[in-house]
Chain A
């Protein structure tokens, strides 16, 4: 294997492949995410980045290869199990709960932490109401931490694109993850919003002690945000390293700009 940086990675993806019929969406990709780092996944459209996310988070089953979480194999585990282990994600195409308010979207994220004695919940006792209020307050603070607390009561469908992306991050944070998977969190944002988002990502990493795996198209944002980057193209990992190394990598330049050879033909 070409990459073995740290001794005990938080997440290790090993020779992971995913085929859809004849199409190899992810082709023997290996990478290791170290605790506390912001790890970026770059690549042109259709490079297999989101599929890789789906394989890690248990939405799609890999055809071969393995995913290890803190040394434990979680390959092909169902999403709710993966989430319970401490991996939370956001979605490229935004998957908010459309019939729920912003606050309730975050409360759904608190699902695993909101268990209450059944009888108390049924009878709606004082203790239950108190704990419920506490959970609402937690949800509200999460909305506040991504800067949309004033929208708590609004239906999630009434938000702007950028606000929705923030709401998804708040919802993912409610799961109390150790690793946060962000799938194109800056899509549809303007330059100012992108800057604010980078700021937000750094802040939540510090506040929650998070490790972050992020997919993004916007290269400048990734260069300034990420500690390390992997570049995918046609399902294969073509580069891995610090932003500086990756930027100079000939394979990356070819993937993004095309080679001189291709230009001529």
Chain B
């Protein structure tokens, strides 16, 4: 049912879900993800089609685009998105609640309109024949899976270390968090930058995978779609956005057999998901219930076990 091409799209969806999740982990609803995704994608498209050196000399075996160049593009996209997000974050993160969200939507729209009107980005037509580092979709699938696992691992570490606790505190109550000595602006900005990094790197992979890139890749629709990943999957653990990203990317394709009905079914799922599961499919409570059946060591690694300080060391 799920072919490799769809699998790559699902994995990219999961990464974008995580990008929306990171600011949400400290209570900031930012829809800037498609903006940074577009920056990453455009950067990759430009570099790989215009910079000869990156494509490797004639001596390179076969016609494949060197993976080192792909990694270099990812690094550049990460740096660019990180620096931009740091600067933009310093300004927009002063806004609270829905105003922050609106500002990030505006950011995405500005980037879209700019790339639509620049000649270097190919205007509305975009950039074509982006070279392929992998011959088969399976190559992309493995590479993207590796990337997703890396980001998941980072989120997992984040959740159970000092930054994660600080972010959870900020999400629950900013005033109380600040009163505990937490520099809330700094942590919000960190989450915003991490979100931009993930989106930018994701854009690089997507540009090569899709073979073409145009300004429509990062628009308001994409903002809403990525937000749906998180709303559907649940925003309280990193597992939620991953599940949401995988499921909601796959669903329209899996529903193809039912023909035109699929849009209606997809709409129903989007509508019923949040009303039946207001906190998303995956919540810490449901995870804990499942974890009760897992081995203790795995439970501890996931941070789901009842690990009391009492049990850990007090006499």
Contact = CB atoms under 8 A, between A and B. Distances in A.
A137 B176 contact: no
Contact of A80 (B162, B168, B181): B181
A236 interface: no
Contacts of B176: 91, 95-97
B14 interface: no
Interface string A59-103: 100000000000000000011100110001101000111111001
Contacts of B262: none
B312 A59 contact: no
A97 B314 contact: no
Contacts of B177: 97, 108
A137 B177 CA distance: 21
B173 A95 contact: yes
Interface stretch (A116-124, A201-209, A247-255): A116-124
Nearest to A95: B176
Contacts of B308: 103, 140, 152-153
A213 to B, nearest CB: 14
A141 B175 CA distance: 25
Nearest to B186: A80
A175 interface: yes
B236 interface: yes
Contact of A140 (B162, B169, B171, B309): B309
Interface in B281-306: 306
Which of the four size classes fits the interface of chain B?
A: 20 to 34
Contact of A99 (B172, B310, B314): B172
Interface string A167-206: 0000100110000000000000000000000000000000
B184 interface: yes
Contact count band on A? 35 or more
Nearest to A141: B314
A223 interface: no
A229 B112 CA distance: 62
A140 B157 CA distance: 22
Contacts of A80: 178-184
Contact of B310 (A78, A89, A152): A152
Interface of A: 57-59, 78-80, 83-84, 88-89, 91, 95-100, 103-104, 107-109, 111-112, 114-116, 121-122, 124, 133-134, 136-137, 139-141, 149, 152-153, 171, 174-175
28 contacts: A58-B178, A59-B178, A78-B178, A79-B178, A80-B183, A80-B184, A83-B180, A84-B181, A91-B176, A95-B175, A96-B173, A100-B169, A104-B165, A108-B182, A111-B181, A112-B180, A115-B162, A116-B161, A121-B161, A122-B161, A133-B309, A133-B313, A137-B309, A137-B312, A137-B313, A140-B308, A153-B308, A171-B180
Given A95-B175, A98-B173, A99-B172, 18 more contacts: A59-B175, A83-B179, A89-B179, A97-B173, A98-B172, A99-B168, A99-B171, A100-B168, A100-B169, A103-B308, A108-B166, A111-B162, A111-B182, A121-B157, A133-B309, A137-B312, A152-B309, A171-B180
